[in-house]
């Protein structure tokens, strides 16, 4: 199976010849050799000793640990345990470090120090079995490991797949941004909810009512909030152009500051700093539901013409959207996380679903950086789809190499 996958990998795709993956495979096959069953085992005394005892540096860690592996011998009494002992230079006195149950086969000694040379031994101990002198507490012959040292490693081989994915992904995104910045045209398809933005603001202008923009309740360390602030910039430019009043109530203090800066910048860039008031972007409170209650009450009192609910929302989504609905406002919602989307879909006029939120900021701003990244994400999706299709074809022929190598640890 493994060899099949290897040869196939060499044929199918040059990508698989990446040295990292090759080294991963090598490690896998070496370890497979290392634990291959021995041909003969010596005749067991009363208690059979453990088998295939190997001590080596645990790969892919920050040092100070030794990985021990072994096989339990057959025919042990049920209560028998395996005792692991260690000897250190220069004295080489054996001391117990752990006694483990049967069936584990593996122990990591994380009390080891780097560069020190150790030897380990493992023996079977059984309290119930009498030893040669007839006293309970028999101990098997010890099995000794080769000398071993722990070391500090540079790479976690088991994460090669995710490393390759990350590097590839970062490369694609930065490459696409560069491509867009070089002035070449990038197409972004129409997103239904977005054309409604100007329509909604236009309507607010006509009837002389406010536009509410609620940027979710998460902080600026959440990516959806950052996307929302980008869209807020666009909305604020439109309200500045039309001279419509804008109200941005905030739950998170950091989001609040960024939102205020974004709105201020938008009014400046439209040449209407006179229309900008500091309290357009205001801070309500930090608690999710106190915030929700205050904003819903404000919606009912002020009856805005348009409400934007874009960002990361939790349970408050439905209260806000349902209250907004009852005031008769046009509502445009957007969230990348799927949890609250059903409520937005059910109560809002337009909803940006999932990744549309990120694409929307690109579509609205037409900024090369955003357009480029949107394209980069599409390329990544294309690669994933292709990988998926190839994976399904291979899996249908009984080869799960791709699916196996998508597992992360």
Partner 1 sequence: MNLEFGRVALVVLFGILPIIGIAMGLRAPSLRSRIPIFIGIFAGFIPIVALYVPKAFLSGETGMSSRLDLWLIILAAFALLLGIVNVVQNSSRKIGRREKGWPYAVVLLTGLAVTGSFGIYGAVTGHGIGFMPDGSSTPFKWVEDRFFQPLQSTIFSLLAFFMASASFRAFRARNAEASILLVAAGLVMMGRVPLLEFLAAPIPPLHAAAASASQFLGKLTEWIMDTPNGAAQSGIIIGAALGAASMAIRVILGIERGYLGLGKGE
Partner 2 sequence: MELGVVGTWIAALLTLACLSFLYKDNPFFRFAESLFAGVSLGYYVGITLNQTLMPNLWEPMRQNFGQNWDLLVPGLLGVILYMRYLPKFGWVSRYALAIYVTYYIGVDFTRRLHGEVLPQLGRAILPLSHFDSRTLVSAIFMLGVGSVLIYFFFSREQGPVTKRIARAGIWFLMISFGAAFGFTVMGRVALLIGRLNFLILQWIYPMLGIS
Partner 3 sequence: MPGFIDRMLTLDRRWIFLFVLVSVATPIIYPIGLPVTTTGSTRAAFEYIEALKPGDVVWISFDYGPSSAPENDPMAEAIMRQCFTKKVRVLVSVFYPLGGLGLANSAVAKVTAEFPDLKYGEDYVNLGYKDGAAAVMHRLGDDISGPFPTDVNGRPIGEIPMMRGIHDIRQVKLVFTAATGIIGEWWITQVHSQFGTPIIIGPTAVSAPKYYAYLNAGQLLGMLGGMKGAAEYEKLLAGAHPELAKFYKTTRAFTATKGMDGQTVIHTVILAFIVLGNYAFFRARAAKKRGAA
In the complex, the residues that contact partner 2 under the rule CB under 8 A are 159, 161-162, 165-166, 169, 186-189, 191, 220-223, 254, 257, 284-287, 289-291, 293-294, 297, 300-301, 318, 338-339, 341-343, 345-346, 353-356, 359, 362-363, 374-375, 377-378, 381-382, 384-385, 387-388, 391-392, 395-398, 400, 402-404, 406-408
- Pick the piece of the chain touching partner 3 (CB under 8 A) from 120-128, 142-150, 276-284, 332-340: 332-340
Q: How far is the CB of 339 from partner 3 (least distance, A)?
A: 5
Q: Is the peptide bond before 80 cis (omega within 30 degrees of 0)?
A: no
Among 338, 396, 397, 398, binds partner 3 (CB under 8 A): 338
Q: Is 99 in the site for partner 3 (CB under 8 A)?
A: no
Q: Which does 314 bind (CB under 5 to 8 A by kind): partner 2, partner 3, partner 1, none?
A: partner 3
DSSP labels for 239-271? HHHHT--EEEEESSHHHHHHHHHHHHHHHHHTT
List strands edge to edge, sheet with 51-57.
Answer: 51-57, 66-71, 106-109
> What is the spatial distance between Cα 306 and Cα 350, in angstroms, rounded to a whole number?
12
Residue list 299-318, contact with partner 3 (CB under 8 A):
314-315
> What is the spatial distance between Cα 96 and Cα 331, in angstroms, rounded to a whole number?
69
H/E stretch holding 290 reads helix 288-302
- Pick the piece of the chain touching partner 3 (CB under 8 A) from 32-40, 227-235, 282-290, 352-360: 282-290
Two structure tokens written together for 338: 């799927």
DSSP 43: P
Q: How far is the CB of 39 from partner 2 (least distance, A)?
A: 37
C-alpha pair distances (Å), 41 with each of 37, 48, 330: 10, 10, 80
Q: How far is the CB of 233 from partner 2 (least distance, A)?
A: 18
Give the chain's largest Cα–Cα span.
102
- The site for partner 3 (CB under 8 A) is made up of 110, 287-289, 314-315, 326, 337-340, 408-409
């Amino acid at each position: 199976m493994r060899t099949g996958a290897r040869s196939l990998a060499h044929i199918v795709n040059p990508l698989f010849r990446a040295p990292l993956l090759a080294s991963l495979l090598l490690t896998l096959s070496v370890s497979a050799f290392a634990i291959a069953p021995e041909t003969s085992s010596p005749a067991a005394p009363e208690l059979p000793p453990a088998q295939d005892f190997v001590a080596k540096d645990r790969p892919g860690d920050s040092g100070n640990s030794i990985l021990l592996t072994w096989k339990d011998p057959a025919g042990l009494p049920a209560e028998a345990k395996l005792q692991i002992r260690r000897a250190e230079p220069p004295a080489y006195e054996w001391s117990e470090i752990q006694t483990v149950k049967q069936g584990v086969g593996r122990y990591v000694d994380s009390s080891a120090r780097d560069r020190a040379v150790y030897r380990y031994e493992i023996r079977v101990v059984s309290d119930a079995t009498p030893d040669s002198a007839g006293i309970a507490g028999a101990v098997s012959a010890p099995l000794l490991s080769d000398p071993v040292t722990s070391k500090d490693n540079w790479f976690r081989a088991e994460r090669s797949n995710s490393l390759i994915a990350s590097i590839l992904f970062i490369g694609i995104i930065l490459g696409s941004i560069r491509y867009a910045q070089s002035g070449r045209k990038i197409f972004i398809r129409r997103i239904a909810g977005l054309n409604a933005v100007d329509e909604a603001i236009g309507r607010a202008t006509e009837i002389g009512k406010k536009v509410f923009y609620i940027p979710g309740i998460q902080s600026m360390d959440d990516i959806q909030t950052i996307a929302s602030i980008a869209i807020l910039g666009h909305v604020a430019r439109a309200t500045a152009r039309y001279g419509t009043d804008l109200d941005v109530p905030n739950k998170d203090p950091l989001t609040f500051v960024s939102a205020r800066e974004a709105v201020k910048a938008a009014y400046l860039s439209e040449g209407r700093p006179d229309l900008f008031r500091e309290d357009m972007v205001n801070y309500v409170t930090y608690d999710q539901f106190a915030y929700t209650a205050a904003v819903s009450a404000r919606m009912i009192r002020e009856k805005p013409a348009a409400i934007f609910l874009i960002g990361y929302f939790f349970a408050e989504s439905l209260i806000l959207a349902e209250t907004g609905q009852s005031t008769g406002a046009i509502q445009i919602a957007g969230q990348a996380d799927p949890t609250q989307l059903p409520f937005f879909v059910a109560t809002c006029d337009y909803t940006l679903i999932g990744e549309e939120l990120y694409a929307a900021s690109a579509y609205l701003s037409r900024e090369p950086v955003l357009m480029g990244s949107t394209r980069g994400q599409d390329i990544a999706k294309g690669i994933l789809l292709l990988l998926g299709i190839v994976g399904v074809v291979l899996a249908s022929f009984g080869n799960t190499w791709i699916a196996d190598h998508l597992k992360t640890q």
